[in-house]
Amino acid sequence: MLYGYMQKVVRVNLSTKKIFIEALDKKTAVDFIGSVGVAGKILYDEVPILADAYDPSNLLIFTTGPVTGTPIQTAGRHSVVTKSPLTGLFGDANAGGFFGVELKRAGYDMVIFSGVSAKPSMLLICDDSIELKEASSYWGMDARDADRAIRSDLGDKKMQVSCIGQAGENLVRFASIMHDDAGRAAARCGVGAVMGFKKLKAVAIRGTKEVPVADSKALNAVMSEVLDNYSVSPLVKRYREGGTVSGYVSYFINGDVPYNNFAGDIFGEYDEERINKLAWPQGTGKILLKNNACYMCAVACRRVVNKGEGKYQLKEENVEGVEYETLAMVGPNCGIDDIYAINLINDLCNRYGLDTISTGVTISFAMECYERGILSKEELDGLDLKFGNSDAAIELVHRIARRDGVGNLLAEGSKRASMMIGRNSDKYAMQVKGLELPGHDPRAFQSGGPHYAYCPVGPDHMEGNAVMTELFGINVPEIGINKQYGAKGSTEWKADLAIKMEDFWTFLTIAGWCIFAGFRYGTQERLIKAFNAITGRQISLSEALMAGERVYNLKRAFNSKHGATIFDDGLPERLLKEPQRLANNEVVKLDVTGPEYLKLRGWDPRTGKPTKEKLLQLGMDDVAGELWK
């Protein structure tokens, strides 16, 4: 028996309205663990090479890991996997909350959508009952209103609903998929746009089953150790009190927080007074009502906020608040230092279903183009889009989600928008492969350079981020991350550090854990003990890391199969040539770390493909045979 898995997969063809139940492939589950791993192998095998993201043959997969839904801390994650409309490459978005847990409790490890519905539709799963329902009455609603209306109409407040807002319906290329009352998001890579293309408004699930665990006694013992660590860990205390925004000031003074579209002081200095306007608790504390938690999480780092004050008040209070990435990318990166404006932009993005990272970076790109005279006020529909203009930024959020006026251009993302604008505007599009950079400036931590440059999905903070090791010395000695990596500005061992963190976080993701489990558990051996207690397997930490490496290479192989080359890698010129003042006037030294990264990864430096030897070493013989015919 495969403990930790429900061993069933739902397939839905939206074109024919046919629903099938099939068994989870055991070998794939063993080799690729779960979540993005198993779904990624299905995506690799089944999506045709020439298929666009907006093609009926593209798949949209909601997927979980073996840890998801089990009684162990931070075990509430799920992922959405598809070919990204933003990059044209492998796309996945990871999310917390309760939706993935409910999918497992209904008896399924994943749901795979193919085809396109003729009318707006919704999938309803109640344990063994699965049906497609028309959803025209919800089409046009924002994600929060749709979530609430669906649960009300179905008469079950505890039902978990994952849905899109107007941004997904309008095929905004960085649309997200929302759940938990539009408080949690599968945000990156434009997964919500694929859902909108398929005319799938929502997936609503209610389940009553339990996830089978191999050794409950051993699992309870590990959980006791983990909770004991929670009581003494300063990191856990920090996240419980301040959430992800608690690191904002420390990140900023080390040069890690981007401001003014990663341009730094060119368009006005972000001084100590402006920094502290957004700090915890001076700034973000003003909007905090209480904490909230994802499934089985005693840390509860989520923020619940009030309506705020003045002209930037929300429609209602007691809704999901600002996380660090949002704070950074629609705050300092757009030159904005008003916490109430940022709070409103965050809430609008949640309602419309927009990735706050790509939204912030795309707006900051437009701001810089305006400041430099590349875009005129007339081309921006009369908006005075200077850095720091909160009102103009808020208006752009509305226009992007609705594809109204200049919003139709920016809804394509910064890369496509720069190609349409021309006039050398591409220099100011802070993206790689079409995906906008997240809220950590790699000039502050050299391991970030190769990670952002070569990450298969594009630069993503959820795919392996070693900033806390380099800036603050937070080490993971069990997997080879030690203090030797900590020297700021040094390139020594930084490619190796990037790879170790990528493989480690990939394992956490495919298992179904929150990435914060990596430090909250205290030791990584506890993670392995928990995984083995759940699954009945006896893997070692090195085998877990190899599973992460296997999935990371699978994503890269998907890209190579679909036409990506080494020329799709790299970084914006700004990061390589313009020093960051707060980061000791550093630039990213990719000329040093890049070749080392490719060599250590076992990726061919001429093509960017994983070498045949590396794929065979990882047991991916079929992939090796296809890529290296």
Task: Based on DSSP, count helices (H) and strands (E) in the chain, helices before strands.
Answer: 26, 17
Residue 264 and residue 198 share a domain:
no
How many Å apart are CA 18 and CA 248, to the nearest integer? 48
Same domain membership, residue 479 and residue 369: no
Q: Would residue 234 count as lying in a domain?
A: no
Query: What pLDDT shows up at residue 78?
Result: 98
Residues 410-450: tens digit of each pLDDT: 999 999 999 999 999 999 999 999 999 999 999 999 999 99
* Nearest Cα residue to 111 out of 38, 32, 10, 13: 10
Residue 213 in domain: no
Looking at residue 269, its pLDDT comes to 87
CATH number where 607 lies: 1.10.599.10
Nearest to 3 by CA among 558, 531, 423: 531
The answer to whether residues 421 and 500 belong to one domain is no
Cα dihedral sign, 282-461-53-262: positive
Q: Is residue 235 part of a domain?
A: no
Domains: count for the chain: 3
Q: Does any domain span residue 120?
A: yes
**pLDDT for residue 45:** 98
* Same domain as 55, residue 152: yes
CATH code, domain carrying 356: 1.10.569.10
Flag whether 435 is in a domain.
Answer: no
CA distances from 36 to 80, 179, 550 (A): 8, 19, 11
User: Is residue 2 assigned to a domain?
Assistant: no
Do 469 and 414 belong together in one domain?
no
pTM: predicted TM-score of the whole model, two decimal places: 0.98
- The pLDDT value recorded for residue 231 is 94
Backbone angles phi, psi at 20, to 5 degrees: -125, 150
Distances (CA, A) of 352 to 218, 274, 330, 426, 604: 44, 29, 15, 27, 41
CATH number of the domain that residue 177 is part of = 3.60.9.10
Q: Is the domain of 27 the same as that of 93?
A: yes
Residue 340 and residue 455 in one domain: no
Query: Is 236 domain-assigned?
Result: no
- Asked if 63 and 165 sit in the same domain, the reply is yes
Q: How many CB atoms lie within 10 A of CB 605?
A: 12
Q: Does 191 share its domain with 282? A: no
Q: Which residue has the tokens 């798949």?
A: 59
Tokens of 176: 């997200």
pLDDT score recorded for residue 121: 98
User: Which one-letter amino acid corresponds to residue 473?
Assistant: G
595 plus 489 within the same structural domain: yes
**Residue 53: domain span:** 8-206
10-residue averages of pLDDT along the chain (629 residues): 97 98 98 98 97 98 98 97 98 98 98 98 98 98 98 96 99 98 98 99 98 98 96 94 96 97 94 94 95 96 96 96 98 98 98 98 98 98 98 98 98 98 98 98 97 98 92 89 81 95 98 95 96 98 98 98 98 97 96 98 98 98 96
Q: State residue 484's pLDDT score.
A: 77
Specify if 237 maps to a domain.
no
**411 and 265 in a common domain:** yes
Q: Beta-carbon neighbour count of residue 273 at 10 Å?
A: 8
Task: Based on the fold, state whether residues 201 and 247 are members of the same structural domain.
Answer: no
